[in-house]
Amino acid sequence: MIMTSSKTFQPVLERIAEEIGRTPGRGRPADYIPALAARDPRAFGMAVAEPDGTVYGVGDWREPFSTQSITKVFTLALDLAREGDELWEHVGREPSGNPFNSLVQLEYESGIPRNPFINAGALVVTDRLQTRTGDAAAELLGFLRTESRNPDLDFDREVAASEDAHGDRNAALAHFMASYGNIDNPVPVLLDQYFRQCSVTASCADLALATGFLARHGVRADGSRLLSSSQAKQINAVMMTCGTYDAAGEFAYRVGLPGKSGVGGGIIAVVPGRCTLCVWSPGLDERGNSVAGVAALDRFTTLTGLSVF
Ligand code: GLU
């Protein structure tokens, strides 16, 4: 273990980047959204943010990438902050054991998705946030801009259009849940919101900072409270059990932190009370998680001893 209380995370980040740089074989970028397929699988960046907003980074840590499913954490937080426990009547909080875009479980379970991080669950959360705000994607973007202190964060229209053009499965999920009365807004409105949400582009530095409220037990960067500490704990727990597709058990085993991945190759992770992390490398494993990203987080918790276990 090289540090548990050192003032700076920079040496450990540099050691991890050096180790990752020597590791061949990095998986393959997602190609089901053509706009994502062009990224170099050898790109790698990692950032750590402390609760006071100090941020450390290495490699491509300021390079913007497609956040994709990482945004599901933020829409969940924004909706939970507004409606509280009523949300859990519309979406569960158990791992699904199925791929992120699976339809099968929904019919057995009467249109109530297993958790907010599979696509069906995220569609329900975005739908409810849309009802409460009138523009869920704008609400998300505003939150990310404020927490990351980066007013330039934006949607990527090309990625959103690409998702729309290849969005039959998400459309099927939304229509299916609408048939059970678990979607309030017109499906085309919801899909537009969801695709824009997934298209937000941000860097490791931006996302490590934006995730800070989960390390600060629900408190935003300006000191105001978004969530109760109990709600922040709940989100961290759902990230731990459901945040990395159907490999959440393996992620908990290797990394030991709440985390959420996206098919753009990013992963955010939280050490409650201590720091937040974001790592990015576009090459994915067969479950959809960044190969170098999981390896880097594994090394981080091993080298620092900073895990929840
Ligand atoms: N926009 C993606 C989809 O719904 C999100 C995928 C992901 O990152 O898990 O297909």
Concatenated DSSP letters of 234-262:
HHHHHHHHHTTGGGHHHHHHHT-S-EEE-
**108 annotated active-site:** no
What does the radius of gyration of the chain's CA atoms come to, in whole angstroms? 18
* Dist. CA 297 → ligand 1 center (Å): 21
**69 annotated active-site:** yes
Please identify which residue in the block is written with the tokens 């985390």.
Answer: 259
Nearest residue to 232 via CA among 255, 251, 211? 211
Q: Residue 55's beta-bridge partner residues?
A: 49
Residue ranges of the chain with pLDDT lower than 70?
A: 1-7
* Dist. CA 32 → ligand 1 center (Å): 10
Q: What is the pLDDT of residues 178-222, one digit of tens each?
A: 999 999 999 999 999 999 999 999 999 999 999 999 999 999 999
pLDDT the model gives residue 6: 45
pLDDT the model gives residue 2: 44
183: left (phi > 0), else alpha (psi -120 to 50), else beta?
A: beta
Task: Tell me how far apart the alpha carbons of residues 29 and 242 are, in angstroms, rounded to a whole number.
Answer: 22
To the nearest 10°, the Cα dihedral for 154, 160, 162, 166?
150
pLDDT the model gives residue 1: 44
pLDDT the model gives residue 5: 45
Ligand 1 atom closest to Cα of residue 100? 9
Nearest residue to 302 via CA among 10, 8, 12, 9? 12
Query: Cβ neighbours of residue 161 under 8 Å, at least 6 residues apart?
Result: none
Q: What is the pLDDT of residues 10-38, one digit of tens each?
A: 999 999 999 999 987 789 998 888 778 88
* Dist. CA 262 → ligand 1 center (Å): 7
In this structure, the residue with its CA closest to atom 7 of ligand 1 is: 69
Give the DSSP H or E segment for 217: none
Of 72, 162, 203, 290, the active-site residue reads: 72
The verdict on the CB of residue 163 being under 6 Å from ligand 1 is yes
Q: Residue 279's beta-bridge partner residues?
A: 46, 267
Domains of the chain listed by start with CATH number: 6-304 (3.40.710.10)
